[in-house]
Amino acid sequence: MANWTKIDQTVKRWIQEAGANIRASFTDSLTIQAKSNPNDLVTNVDKETERFFIENIRSQFPDHQILGEEGQGDNVQSLQGVIWIIDPIDGTMNFVHQQRNFAISIGIYEDGIGQLGYIYDIVHDELYHAMKGQGAWMNDTPLKKLEKVPVETAVLGISATWLINNRHFDQNKLVQLAKDVRGTRSYGSAALELAYVASGRLSGYITMRNAPWDFAGGKMIVEEAGGIVSTINGGEIDMLSVNPVFAAAPGLHEALLKKYLL
């Protein structure tokens, strides 16, 4: 049996150390490369941070598997055992262009069930974290259990990408939804947007394409805060593939599914 309290203390130490290294890198010049397309960026800091976690995990927890965005972990094919799902920098475009609005994201799953989740907003020194069955926190402050939010007062996280013609979803449904809510926001980091849903800064978040490392930490934290995370049709998220992700406070999740998304 894994000792989750001990693992939690260890991860928090590593996250602080990785955060300090990333902060220190602000004065260095970055090596920036494009991945799947010219706007899909990776830097030397993403790769070094991923390597930092992988080396530490392999030395402390050699029987755990690692799924990392930059591909230096394992070729994970099944959810059996303990799996660390890591995005060393979620919001790399923001990291490169703004030096803010990016985060380290880590979800630790055992046999497909989330046990620990972390999203660290390095610039603001805000660590959102959760432990299964124990709740969610921002630094040392417990997050309040999310209450029902009506559509008219909802502040929804959604990127303009999904409100224009796109391959993944009928944008007209989302345009009507964007008109009906109180306001929309887009931060360019799925992990942070999920942390904001968990902490009530956003009432909900919708995206059509997220990879496991974008949502693994956030899904855990939102659920421990009393929110709901599903696919855009209300289905179960697959932790090993790209998913559309819909996270929201209770009440709002049901209302948006019924009125706009199904």
**Binding footprint of ligand 2AM on the chain (CB under 6 A):** 36, 40, 69, 87, 90-92, 159, 188-190, 209-211, 214, 242
Burial class for 236, CB neighbours closer than 10 Å (0-12, 13-18, 19+):
exposed
Start-end of H helices in the chain: 4-24, 44-60, 92-97, 171-180, 190-199, 212-224, 252-256
How many residues in the shown chain lie near Ca ion by CB under 5 A? 4
Angle at 117 between CA 187 and CA 3, to 5 degrees: 165
Residue 91 touches which of Ca ion, ligand 2AM, none (CB < 5 to 8 A by kind)?
ligand 2AM
Comparing CB distances to ligand 2AM, the nearer of 92 and 230 is 92
Query: Closest approach of Cβ 52 to ligand 2AM, in Å?
Result: 16
HSE toward the beta carbon, residue 189, CA cutoff 13 A:
28
Q: Which CB, 10 or 186, lies closer to ligand 2AM?
A: 186
Name which of 83 and 192 has its Cβ closer to ligand 2AM: 192
When CB distances are held under 5 to 8 angstroms depending on the partner's kind, the choice from ligand 2AM, Ca ion, none that residue 40 binds is ligand 2AM
Binding site partner of 211, from Ca ion, ligand 2AM, none, Cβ cut-off 5-8 A by kind: ligand 2AM
Q: State how far the Cα of 48 lies from the Cα of 54, in Å rounded to an integer.
A: 10
Asked if residue 87 binds Ca ion (CB under 5 A), the reply is yes
- CB closest to ligand 2AM, residue no: 190
Q: Which does 199 bind (CB under 5 to 8 A by kind): Ca ion, ligand 2AM, none?
A: none
Closer of 51 and 209 to ligand 2AM (Cβ): 209
Contacted by 122, from ligand 2AM, Ca ion, none: CB < 5 to 8 Å by type: none
Strand order in the sheet with 126-131: 65-68, 82-90, 103-110, 113-121, 126-131, 135-138, 141-142
First-residue to last-residue Cα distance in the chain:
40
- To the nearest whole angstrom, how small is the minimum distance from the Cβ of residue 205 to ligand 2AM? 11
Q: At its nearest, how many Å lie between ligand 2AM and the CB of residue 85?
A: 12
Nearest distance from C-beta of residue 96 to Ca ion, angstroms: 11
CA 28 to CA 16: how far, in whole Å?
19
* Binder of residue 190, out of ligand 2AM, Ca ion, none (CB less than 5 to 8 A by kind): ligand 2AM
Residues 48-77 that bind Ca ion (CB under 5 A): 69
**Nearest-angstrom CA–CA distance, 121 and 128:** 8
Nearer to Ca ion (CB atom), residue 110 or residue 214: 214
Q: Is-contact 155 177, C-beta < 8 A? A: no
Tokens standing for residue 174: 């989302």
Rounded CA-CA distance 227/221 in Å is 9
**Piece of 2-10, 82-90, 116-124, 222-230 that binds Ca ion (CB under 5 A):** 82-90
DSSP 37-75: STT-EEEHHHHHHHHHHHHHHHHH-TT-EEEETTS-S--
Positions touching Ca ion (CB under 5 A) are: 69, 87, 89-90
